[in-house]
Amino acid sequence: MKKLIRLQVNGEAHELAVNPDETLLQVLRGQLDLIGPKKGCDSGGCGCCTVELDGKAIYACMKYAASADGGEITTAEGLSQDGELHVIQQAFVDAGAVQCGYCTCGMMMAARQLVDTVENPGEDEIRQAISGNLCRCTGYVNIVKAVQHAAATTDRDGE
Amino acid sequence: MSLPNISDYHVPDNAEDAIALLKQYGDSAMIVAGGTFVHGLEVRGVLGDIEALIDIGRLGLDGIEFGADGLRLGATAVFAQLEAHAAIGDDPAFGAIVDALACPPTQIRNTGTVAGCLAASAPLYDLPAALLALDGAAEVLGDSGRRTIPLCDFFTGLFENALQPHEIITSISLPKLPPGTVSAFLKLETNANDLAIINVAVRFTLDGDACRDCRIIVGGGVGETYVRAAGAEAALEGAPAGDAGFEAAAAAVTNDIDPVTDHRGSREYRRHIAGIYTRRALDNALARFG
């Protein structure tokens, strides 16, 4: 029996009918056409499905949508505001941290909290933040640089 | 392998309703907390008999309390909440919890729950080893009321535990440990997302320079459930903290465990590493003292 749930996704309110074991990943991609979160392993091992739920990075592939009723979700699509790239998106572009791009959305969502809260994270700290995200292209080097740069250039005075 | 057949997802708002739902469905319902373990079961095709999921995330069981008689971890408190709690992070006695929680990636730390991790009853997980070393107990609610199950009696086999049908864990209680108690946890893994090849949780209380009330728990690929390394504990009990006592405990661990050979490692490798990791965990625990 489908369940009716309410989700706030990238600032927009939605009322959705979901199957009892439908995951957030299925709902975001299948019902809301948000393709930032991707289906890689579908079992919480690769990280390319990473989104934020109530401000915390989670694997959308293993979160039952019905359990997220009332939650606020941010996907990679929700990072840019008014047509301007988020500092973390710009940093990934500038650092050459994107090759095939499949891991990129998940990487940014996993690192976003660190970027927002720590001005000069060390390499170990960054690698810890993205330890749940696999990249098969880049070797992570430029991803780490992108996160460092994003953290350093985040406007903290304006908050 | 069977296709999932789940027709209902219930989100009760009180524990009595959750128990009533469990009774109603019998074997065809499964409790969900964070959802990571249950989802893992579903994608592996082993939930064919499950018709309903009962979510215990809205029962208000996510608190963490620290008082005179110890620490109480709410069933649905997520790992990140434990990490952020001063009573856990600041107390060297709970070092093993801090170490265990540092292992999983951010996404799991924001989702995995204390009770879910325990109820999964897999020796491959990390937090349960730490909670065993700290003499934790599961506070349980069922249709016949409340009871307490010491964690040393909780795990009865691989994916099997002492919970009766119609029972849920409501919290995990950890006793207040004497001053001078330290603990640590170490995990051998191939990457942050993988399960333990071997993990070790240790705890002891320094009495002068002697180690008392020693606990050494080994998990990972060591069989159906966590192993209490009684021989290693006996070797450590009363011994002075440091090289000699720790080496004796590390050497004794290899006889306490009967590891498996699987794709993560051979039994000989696990036996070897268990000794090394026991020694390192003891060193790490001692470093927390004072």
User: Which amino acid is residue A152, in one-letter code?
Assistant: A
Q: Do A67 and B32 touch (CB under 8 A)?
A: yes
Residues β-bridged to residue A16: A5
Q: Do A20 and B36 touch (CB under 8 A)?
A: no
For residue A14, the tally of other CB atoms under 10 A from its CB is: 14
Q: Could you tell me if B4 lies within 8 Å of chain A, comparing CB atoms?
A: yes
The DSSP call for residue A44 is S
For residue B242, the tally of other CB atoms under 10 A from its CB is: 13
pLDDT at residue B290 in the model: 74
Nearest to B169 by CA among B69, B61, B40: B61
Residue B26 and residue B54: Cα distance in Å, rounded? 12
For residue B62, CA distances in Å to A58, B144, B172 come to 18, 23, 11
**pTM for this prediction:** 0.95
For residue B252, CA distances in Å to A122, B200, B243, B272 come to 39, 14, 14, 11
Q: Do B9 and A66 touch (CB under 8 A)?
A: yes
Per-residue pLDDT of A56-66, as tens digits, reads 999 999 999 99
Per-residue pLDDT of A25-80, as tens digits, reads 999 999 999 999 999 999 999 999 999 999 999 999 999 999 999 999 999 999 99
Q: Of A21, A43, A113, which has the smallest distance from its Cβ to B9's Cβ?
A: A21
Residue B125 and residue A38: Cα distance in Å, rounded? 27
Residue found by looking up tokens 């009760």 in the block:
B12
Q: ipTM score of the complex?
A: 0.96
Q: What are the pLDDT tens digits along chain B (290 aa)?
A: 667 889 999 999 999 999 999 999 999 999 999 999 999 999 989 998 999 999 999 999 999 999 999 999 999 999 999 999 999 999 999 999 999 999 999 999 999 999 999 999 999 999 999 999 999 999 999 999 999 999 999 999 999 999 999 999 999 999 999 999 999 999 999 888 889 999 999 999 999 999 999 999 999 999 899 999 999 999 999 999 999 999 999 999 999 999 999 999 999 999 999 999 999 999 999 999 97
User: Are B4 and A21 in contact, with CB atoms under 8 Å apart?
Assistant: yes
User: Which amino acid is residue B224, in one-letter code?
Assistant: E
Q: Do B57 and A67 touch (CB under 8 A)?
A: yes
Task: List the 265-284 stretch of B: residues with Cβ below 8 A of A.
Answer: none
Q: Do B53 and A21 touch (CB under 8 A)?
A: yes
Residue A42 and residue A8: Cα distance in Å, rounded? 23
Residue B31 and residue B168: Cα distance in Å, rounded? 8
The DSSP call for residue A84 is B
- Best of A23, A67, A75 to disrupt the B interface (most B CBs within 10 Å) is A67
Residue found by looking up tokens 């959705």 in the block:
A16
pLDDT at residue A158 in the model: 54
CA B19, distance to chain mean position in Å, is 24
Q: Could you tell me if A99 lies within 8 Å of chain B, comparing CB atoms?
A: no
Q: Of A20, A59, A64, which has the smallest distance from its Cβ to B107's Cβ?
A: A59
Q: Do B39 and A1 touch (CB under 8 A)?
A: no
Q: Which residues of B touch A23 (CB under 8 A)?
A: 39
**In this structure, what are the phi and psi dihedrals at residue A51, rounded to the nearest 5 degrees?**
-135, 175
Q: Do A21 and B106 touch (CB under 8 A)?
A: no
Tell me the nearest-neighbour CA distance from A118 into chain B, angstroms. 15
Residue B100 and residue A49: Cα distance in Å, rounded? 24
Q: Could you tell me if A58 lies within 8 Å of chain B, comparing CB atoms?
A: yes
Per-residue pLDDT of A89-136, as tens digits, reads 999 999 999 999 999 999 999 999 999 999 999 999 999 999 999 999
Residue B281 and residue B23: Cα distance in Å, rounded? 43
For residue B290, the tally of other CB atoms under 10 A from its CB is: 8
- Best of A3, A22, A48, A64 to disrupt the B interface (most B CBs within 10 Å) is A64
pLDDT at residue B48 in the model: 87
* Per-residue tokens: B123: 């020796």
pLDDT at residue B1 in the model: 63
User: Are A47 and A106 in contact, with CB atoms under 8 Å apart?
Assistant: yes
Q: Could you tell me if A21 lies within 8 Å of chain B, comparing CB atoms?
A: yes
The 3-state secondary structure of chain B, one letter per residue: CCCCCCCEEECCCCHHHHHHHHHHHHHHEEEECCCHHHHHHHHCCCCCCCCEEEECCCCCCCCEEEECCEEEEECCCEHHHHHHCHHHHCCHHHHHHHHHHCCCCHHHHCCCEHHHHHHCCCCCCCHHHHHHHCCCEEEEEECCEEEEEEHHHCEEECCEECCCCCEEEEEEEEECCCCCEEEEEEEECCCCCCCCCEEEEEEEEEECCEEEEEEEEEEECCCCCCEECHHHHHHHCCCECCHHHHHHHHHHHHHHCCCCCECCECHHHHHHHHHHHHHHHHHHHHHCCC
Q: Which residues of A touch B3 (CB under 8 A)?
A: none
Give the chain A residue whose CA is nearest to the CA of B104.
A132
* Per-residue tokens: B238: 């009363």
